[in-house]
Structure 1
Amino acid sequence: MVYTISAPPHKKQRITFSSINRAKILTLLPVSLISIYFFGLPALGILLAGILAAVATEYGIQMIFKQDVTIKDGHAAMIGLMLALLTPPEAPLWLPVVGSFIAISIGKHAFGGIGSYIFNPVLVAWVFIRSAWSDPMTPLSIPHIGQFSDLLLEPGAGLLVGVSPIALLAGLYLIYKRYVEWRVPLLFFLTVFFFNQIIAFVSEIVTLVQEGVLNPLLYLATMFTFLELTEELSFAMVGVVIFGIIFLATDSPTTPVTKQGRLIYGVVCGLLVSIYGLFGNYVDGTLYGIFLANGVASFVEARTIPASFSQESVLERSYNRVMEKIPSALKFEVISDD
């Protein structure tokens, strides 16, 4: 019998980079088709322009620098599709072309290619074109989920990706197939939801105190209903937020590799998105928030790497630092009889 010895990691199941990219493209097809139905030929033109420009840019870069051409893996097409979905339907066709060029050339290859970039290439390109051409990149309307029909077809969608939040839930297939890790999306969603709950609860208390209500907590306990929960949940069900939770925040090179780190990273994404959305809107807030979270992913990963055998863990190091600052007179000591 011949034994093959190779360096880790070892592939345990039939998951390849190409299969992950193809699955992401397929799960984005429903919302893409609905956007074409909703906005017509302008949406189709933007989608095709973004995808073709991304593929052409990757092919050109790899030919110029004499690298292996990898456009068949679908990564460039996926980046172009995602960026196009983050574009308003009124935008000129050259805008997704420029954005896809920036995403592939600077966001991806300037950092070393697949697996080496720090920031999600889609977000790099979006931040660039949003800052450089703010007028055509500003959506004409901001979506808000007011009733269940808005989940099926959102008339206030300002971006292609926002036309049908429920169509984006096809991305849950990625979690089912384990193409995407569940920890980041779950903690991201819970943080956005509960952050809005807490902020709404505190603001209600402040308002009641200003109005002279003697026991605002008891008053809110009787007035807080399921409808209030539904209203706060609407912020977390906006199409761009779902897109960010399932597709953008879970990009493997920009998320920590440790399990504990991914839990923390999900919370960081949720907090940044919620804070920005509180003072601005959840469309820009989602994209800027995840972009900023990419910048701290490496820090989170470095602080959550499990300690090797005989070394202190992160919790033990933190505990020892706290105990060193406590005066010895306040510590409980065990006296041995030996």
Structure 2
Amino acid sequence: MSVTLRDVAELAGVSAATASRALDPTGSASSATRERVADAARRLGYVGNTAARSLRTCRSDTIGLLVPDVRNPFFTDLAYAVDKAASAAGLTVMIGNADEDGAAQDRYLAALERHRIDGLLVVPQGGATPGLRRIVETFPTVAIDRDAGLGVPVVASDSEAGMHALVDHAVALGHRRFAIVAGPQSTSTGRVRLDAARERLAHHDIRLSDGDVIEGDFRLESGLAAARRLLDHDPVPDLVVAADALMALGVLAVIRERGLRPGVDVGLAAFDDNPWFHVLDTPVTVVAQDTTVLARRALDALLRRIAGEDVDVAPIPTTLVVRRSLGETTTVKENAHE
């Protein structure tokens, strides 16, 4: 098994970014840190990618952005916001669509590496693939939305606070029989949102059975399939919470297909907004994320990584947008987290 920069950093007791700078003759690091990192590298037999480091001394003013699915409105908005923020900073963005597939992700990463990008913004596909680990060791990298355990800054919305606010709101309306179309548990986003829902429901003395939760994949088709199973329950759930907007659209289609009335016969709520949710006959209550802030924070973090700085990023607040799909009689916006 090959020794990675992360292994060297752990042995030296520093971050991967600090280890990279310490091993780079042009990097900013104290002599003590350089000695400690060099000693760790020698003990582990680490051989760095000097060719990749030399490439980084020549700026291309181009960054990479890899998203899981450009058809998902959240990632479409995110890509647009990143491109606008990067343009304002004088940068060009090369965008790739990994199609929620690790192999496709690695193919795009290899292409971005060949184009000598200055840094990478990535929404990881599940775990850390070999290609992703390699590029993290080669180029400054910031993850968005999902944490794949890469040891890089992760710029993400506060999913936990957002889901807590949504559950509290639904319970206050009298809902007790919850069903959830969860995101893929191979992603940190899917896990955090489901865990937060379970935790907050338990706070209200509500327990979810195995049949109340169906794992989707953040796509429309999985929302359709999950909703058909969940709405076969007797009795029908009070409400269905979908972990993203596309799966929520699938749930809504099945509610209509069954002749049920959203907000009356069965409630519906989503994590993520959609441009159409507020103009439906029954507008959908959501936890909204601010893609503009996500993009700007992610780009700022990446530029600081490119400059050789360590970065610490706080979760970005979400907003509970109350409409009428849970049986509400008024519509308001509430901060889910300050």
Fold conserved (TM > 0.5)?
no
Higher fraction of helix: 1
Structure number, greater radius of gyration:
1
Higher fraction of strand: 2
TM-score if structure 2 supplies the norm length?
A: 0.26
